[in-house]
Amino acid sequence: MVREYVVERKLQEQSGSYFVVLPKIWIESLGLKEGDPMSIFFNGIIKIVPSNKITLRKDRKINKLGGHPHG
């Protein structure tokens, strides 16, 4: 069974962008390294998924207009 882990992190800002630092052990457990592509989804919640782990249904509509929901 897959366990869910939760940590609280503060939202940080740098040069007009925001970021959150993820626990190193989470990144290493997925075999990820600096520079690996990540897909970020937003539908009222933010979901970050390694790009190589994504399988989209053909009928799923994704807005890729720079993250603006009203593009």
Q: Is residue 70 part of a domain?
A: no
Q: Is residue 49 part of a domain?
A: yes
Bridge partners (DSSP) of residue 46 are: 42
Tally the domains of the chain: 1
**d(Cα 71, Cα 59) in Å, to the nearest integer?**
20
Q: What is the pTM of this model?
A: 0.65
Q: Is residue 36 part of a domain?
A: yes
pLDDT tens-digit map of 8-64: 999 999 999 999 999 999 999 999 999 999 999 999 999 999 998 777 655 566 666
**Phi, psi for residue 59 in degrees, rounded to 5:** -90, 0
Q: Determine the structural domain holding residue 40 and report its residue range.
A: 12-53
**d(Cα 57, Cα 11) in Å, to the nearest integer?**
31
Helices (H) and strands (E) in the chain, counts: 1, 4
pLDDT attached to residue 56: 62
Q: Is residue 33 part of a domain?
A: yes
Q: Is residue 2 part of a domain?
A: no
pLDDT attached to residue 71: 43
Q: Is residue 59 part of a domain?
A: no
